[in-house]
Every structure is written in structure tokens, then in C-alpha cells.
């Protein structure tokens, strides 16, 4: 039997976000950021290169890389966030909403805040025909 005391403090940890979706990344990201703070690890997040500019400047302590740039052997721990409906053991209790599942998978308390982005600004967008 293998026993291991998890201690990510000061170590490289990878969180892999799903490709091809913006909503899932924005929903899961606050949990990854909170995880990094609570465990005091050096967090790297992989996601679509199109999404990275939305988050990178607002989270200077988190390293963002596209999936194809990951060097998997450098990480102490790796987490793949998403729902895998073909794996009954991974998702034993489907309930309405996913916030409790995100919280339990990342072992952090509810963050209660959306991700911060320095790339998104308020502006009015003219509607066609007006």
C-alpha cells in the first residue's frame, strides 16, 4: 500500500481545463485560483489559447499555457477538470448544478466570486437596425 502526504506548497501543479468551451472554463477557474492560494503551489492552467488572454493579466501568479505546450513530467500533481459522462465512477452523483461537484473535486470552499478579467470592459454594442 502506498501512503503519501499531499503537500503542493512551492511545487508545480497543473490544472487542465476542457477545450472548446468558454463557459466551463469560466465556471471552474475560480476554484483553481482558490486552490493555488490555499495550497501555495505554483499553478499552471491549460486551456484554449483563445481564452488565455481573458485571464492572464488578472492572475499574474498563475501560468497559462495552451494544451499543446504542456510538459507533463514537470508537475507534482495534475487535475483534469470537466465532467466525463462515460465514467460512472468519476461522477457518482449527478445533481442539478455543478458548483457542489466543483467544490468537492478541488477540495476548496465555495469561492463565491466569478473569475477576474482585465480584458473584458463594459461598452455598449449597437444593435442592427437601430
Spot the catalytic one: 5, 7, 24, 93: 24
Q: Answer yes or no: 24 catalytic.
A: yes
Find the angle CA(69)-CA(72)-CA(73) to the nearest 5 degrees.
Answer: 130
CA distance 65 to 48: 8
pTM: 0.69
| Domains of the chain by start residue, with CATH | 12-106 (3.40.50)
pLDDT of 8-64, one tens digit each?
999 999 999 988 888 888 888 998 999 999 999 999 999 999 999 999 999 999 999
Cβ atoms 33, 115 nearer than 8 A: yes
CA distance 47 to 115: 14
Q: Which residues pair with 79 in a beta bridge?
A: 15
Amino acid at each position: 500500500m502506498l501512503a503519501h502526504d499531499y503537500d503542493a506548497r512551492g511545487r508545480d501543479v497543473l490544472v487542465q481545463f476542457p477545450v472548446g468551451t468558454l463557459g466551463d472554463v469560466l465556471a471552474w477557474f475560480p476554484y483553481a485560483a482558490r486552490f493555488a492560494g490555499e495550497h501555495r503551489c505554483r499553478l499552471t492552467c491549460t486551456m484554449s489559447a483563445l481564452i488565455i488572454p481573458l485571464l492572464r493579466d488578472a492572475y499574474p501568479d498563475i501560468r497559462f499555457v495552451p494544451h499543446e505546450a504542456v510538459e507533463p513530467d514537470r508537475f507534482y500533481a495534475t487535475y483534469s477538470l470537466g465532467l466525463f459522462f462515460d465514467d460512472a465512477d468519476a461522477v457518482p452523483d449527478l445533481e442539478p448544478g455543478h458548483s457542489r461537484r466543483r467544490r468537492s473535486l478541488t477540495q476548496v470552499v465555495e469561492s463565491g466570486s466569478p473569475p477576474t478579467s482585465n480584458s473584458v470592459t463594459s461598452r455598449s454594442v449597437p444593435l442592427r437596425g437601430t
